[in-house]
Chains A and B, each alone.
Chain A
């Protein structure tokens, strides 16, 4: 794709005009984003950050924003509810559906960007577009230009939310685009678990372009589960930016099953001393899917700790990409970081590109990293067969087990069980 064609793609996604909303700050932010989006070219494989992920199939269609769905598949959506959650925001085709949402009284403020969030005035204005900027990233710029009813979750100081918050993004219309947006602000000493769940109900080709920002305050803790199960014809491009203040803790499981082409850029910045970050990832893809995870953990302050385990299971002629960047800045002494990328190829045509990227500028640090790419170990298959399991059953069980190591870390029981079932179905296709 030529530079000018790449430039005009972002423009083709944009709204012609921006109807002025009630919030002057939001109007200004959107206008600035619109301007940037018009100026930026979308990436091609000539960009180092995108060399394995060719978005030209996406660029063939200028997906226009979905309208509010005329028929709401209520029952199908309700089946996706996580019963543990007492607060839930539901978005269908990018539109907020208040009558299916629930802002429970768990001491958490939950609402949307455009409406002022009860109990947390000014929270959106103060934080949005800080952790995922629009300057360099055309997809984030387009997302921000459309920003209206994005989800806001704010946990006040020292409040420990006992129940998880569920943010559900359902797609029902093919050939359309949606722009999910999430802002999570957890104040000093507070705790939160939340789920971001992207689901297709009607299949088809569509485009999800999401941005998530998570600010974790001093000595606060966030547990974040992200599930992407969009249709296998869809495109899913998302950026998640996380900042950690002093002694903050952030643990995430990022599970990716869906999309023809998906890309998650997950960027964590340790802005205070003594923070702790755990990133777990699982991509389970088949057919001709491509799943790309780019992560970055930026140790900017001393005594930080990070643990990352990313796993890919690649079947059929699918392709997985993992690029794990770890930065330890000068002065970020006594950083303790470990990263592991483990990849399982189930066929000869399956493919994975995995790349650790370490940039270490401090001298008193512990940084370990490793990557493996392989097929199921014949000794493992033999062990299970010697106990009576057929070869297919043995392979399925081992594949399931490989995935389960990540899924088992999800702290919300009902979601964990559902995903275990989903993994079982997806790893047992060939019996």
Chain B
């Protein structure tokens, strides 16, 4: 739901970011309030993923200007792990494979680290097992996931389900999902959407970075932002996503150029 009077969860102002010396983000302003779902759309190369990675603190993405606050806290003063502990979650477009470490032990390590940082009790392996199986059931994910190495040999869809599982366990204040829907079949898409919807709560917010309108059939965004050339060039509601689906991006880019001229 749109929550104009709600608490500001993420506030980005004038963010510029470069990768390998090339400026990708050229001034992003974004305000996300508690309870809201935002979709960030745009053609390839528009800077959507760069925004997600810059917020999460990937070392290859250099913030050159502007600021970002999560719950009023300066995000860019924090290391990536501190951002995670503060309640930011990035769902990866390409989750990393870690052969040799079971998913169960990785999930427990991540969960306990974040719980510990929030002053909550950590769970021992047995307690965690009960807890994680509950989440698996909720998300309709096969428990065999736990015994496999992290993402090792997972299909694209399985990796994305694993991202959603991690999100569900870590219970972030703000989840940024970077193209979590790309390359998914309809079942996997439903699991992802289901996970996102079940996380959705009045005190949390979700930012979906997506190339296609497809995911938005399952998740209704309160705001749709269109990025191009490192800027947000248009913001609207879910009807904007439908319009993009039928008309493509070109008309927007052209009108953007006309405005710029």
Contact present for A389 and B110 (CB under 8 Å): yes
Cβ distance B59 to chain A, nearest Cβ, rounded Å: 6
Q: Give min CB distance, B168 to chain A, whole Å.
A: 13
Smallest CB separation, A94 vs chain B (Å): 35
Cβ–Cβ contact A401 & B90, under 8 A: no
A382-B59 Cα distance, complex, nearest whole Å:
8
Partner of B98, one of A386, A398, A408: A398
Q: How many residues of A contact B (CB 8 A)?
A: 25
A98 to B52, CA, bound (A): 66
Q: Is A382 within 8 A of B80, CB to CB?
A: yes
Q: Is the CB of A386 within 8 A of B90?
A: yes
B200: chain A residues within 8 A (beta carbon): none
> Bound complex: CA of A389 vs CA of B83, how far in Å?
11
Q: Are A379 and B96 in contact (CB under 8 A)?
A: yes
B residues within 8 A CB of A389?
81, 109-110, 113
CB neighbors of B among A392-418 (8 A): 393-394, 397-398, 400-405, 408
Chain A, interface SS category: helix
Complex-state Cα separation, A395 to B97, whole angstroms: 14
Contact of B84 among A377, A380, A385, A397 (CB under 8 A): A385
Q: A389-B110, A400-B101, A405-B99 are in contact. Are A378 and B81 (CB under 8 A)?
A: no
Q: Closest residue of chain B to A387, judged by CB? A: B110
* Least distance between A107 CB and chain B CB atoms (Å): 34
> A375 near B: Cβ within 8 Å?
no
Q: Which residues of A contact B60 (CB under 8 A)?
A: 378
Q: Would you give the shortest CB distance from B174 to chain A, in whole angstroms?
A: 13
Assess whether A380 is in contact with B100, with CB atoms less than 8 Å apart: no
A289 to B60, CA, bound (A): 33
Which residue from chain A places its CB closest to the CB of B109 in the assembled complex?
A: A389
Bound complex: CA A171 to CA B109 (Å) = 38
Q: State whether B98 touches A397 (Cβ < 8 A).
A: yes
Q: A63-85: which have CB < 8 Å to B?
A: none
A402 near B59 (CB under 8 angstroms)?
no
Complex contact A391–B100 (CB within 8 A): no
Nearest CB of A to B257, in Å: 35
Neighbour of A388 across the interface among B98, B100, B113, CB < 8 A: B113
Instruction: Check B85 for interface membership: any CB of A closer than 8 A.
Output: yes
How distant is B99 from chain A, measured CB to nearest CB, in Å? 5
Verify if A390 is at the interface (C-beta below 8 Å from B).
yes
Closest-by-CB residue of A relative to B107 is A387
Contact residue among B57, B59, B81, B166 (Cβ-Cβ distance under 8 Å from A390): B81
Q: Is the Cβ of B81 less than 8 Å from the Cβ of A391? A: yes
Q: How far is the CA of A382 from the CA of B114 in the complex (A)?
A: 16
Q: When chains A and B are docked, how far (Å) is the Cα of A379 from the Cα of B94? A: 10
Q: Given the interface contacts A397-B101, A400-B101, A405-B100, does A386 sit within 8 Å of B95 by beta carbon?
A: no
Within the assembled complex, what's the spacing in Å between the Cα atoms of A377 and B85?
Answer: 22
Q: B9 at interface (Cβ–Cβ under 8 A)? A: no
In the assembled complex, B76 has its CB within 8 A of some CB on chain A = no
Chain A CB within 8 A of B133 CB: no
Which of A380, A388, A400 counts the most chain B CB atoms within 10 A?
A388
Over the window 58-99 of chain B, the binary record of Cβ atoms lying under 8 Å from chain A Cβ atoms (1 yes, 0 no) is 111000000000000000000111011100011010011011
Report the bound CA distance from A380 to B113 in whole Å: 18
For residue B8, give the distance in angstroms from its CB to the closest CB of chain A: 23
A25 beta carbon closer than 8 Å to chain B: no
Q: Which residue of the partner chain, among A383, A400, A405, contacts B92 with CB atoms under 8 Å?
A: A383
Q: Mark B150-181, 1 if CB is under 8 A from A, else 0.
A: 00000000000000001000100000000000
Question: In angstroms, how far is the closest chain A Cβ from the Cβ of B117?
Answer: 7
Which residues B14-69 have CB closer than 8 A to chain A?
Answer: 56-60
Bound-state CA distance A404–B101 (Å) is 8
Tell me whether A404 and B79 are in contact (CB under 8 A): no
Which chain A residues lie closer than 8 Å to B92 at the CB level? 383, 386
Q: Which residue of A lies closest to B169 (CB)?
A: A387
A27 and B57 CA atoms in complex are apart in Å by 71
CB of B166 within 8 A of CB of A387, answer: yes
Q: How far is the CA of A383 from the CA of B59 in the complex (A)?
A: 11
Interface centre among B79, B95, B98 (most CB of A within 10 A): B98
Report the bound CA distance from A385 to B109 in whole Å. 11
Given A388-B110, A391-B79, A397-B101, A383:B84 Cβ within 8 A: no
A388-B170 contact, Cβ under 8 Å, with A382-B58, A393-B113 = yes
Q: Measured between C-beta atoms, what is the minimum distance from B83 to chain A in Å?
A: 8
State whether B81 touches A385 (Cβ < 8 A): yes
Docked complex Cα distance between A391 and B84 (Å): 13
Please, how many angstroms separate the alpha-carbon atoms of A225 and B218 in the complex? 53
Please tell me if the beta carbons of B100 and A402 are within 8 angstroms of each other in the complex.
yes
Q: Give the nearest-CB partner of B80 in chain A.
A: A385
Asked if A386 and B57 sit within 8 Å, CB to CB, the answer is yes
Residue interface bits A6-21, CB-to-B below 8 A is 1, else 0: 0000000000000000
Cα–Cα distance between A378 and B92 once the two chains are bound (Å): 14
- 1/0 contact string of A280-294 vs chain B (CB within 8 Å): 000000000000000
B105's closest neighbor in chain A, by CB? A397
Q: Please name all residues of chain B whose beta carbon is closer than 8 Å to the beta carbon of A408 when the two chains form the complex.
A: 100
Cα-based distance from A401 to B99 in the complex (angstroms): 6
**Cβ–Cβ contact B96 & A383, under 8 A:** yes
Instruction: Kindly name the residue among B79, B84, B92, B100 whose own CB sees the greatest number of chain A CB atoms within 10 A.
Output: B100
Closest-by-CB residue of A relative to B58 is A382
**A398 and B109 alpha carbons, distance in the complex (Å):** 13
Q: Are the CB atoms of A388 and B81 closer together than 8 Å? A: yes
Contact residues in A for B95 (Cβ distance below 8 Å): 383
Chain A, 23-42, contact with B by CB distance < 8 Å: what is the 0/1 string? 00000000000000000000
User: A residues engaging B (CB < 8 A)?
Assistant: 377-380, 382-391, 393-394, 397-398, 400-405, 408
10 A–B contact pairs at CB < 8 A? A380-B96, A380-B98, A382-B57, A383-B92, A383-B95, A385-B79, A387-B110, A391-B81, A397-B109, A401-B98
Interface residues of B (CB under 8 A from A): 56-60, 79-81, 83-85, 89-90, 92, 95-96, 98-101, 106, 109-110, 113-114, 117, 149, 166, 170
Q: Which A-B residue pairs are the 7 nearest by beta carbons?
A: A404-B100, A401-B100, A387-B110, A385-B80, A383-B96, A388-B84, A388-B114
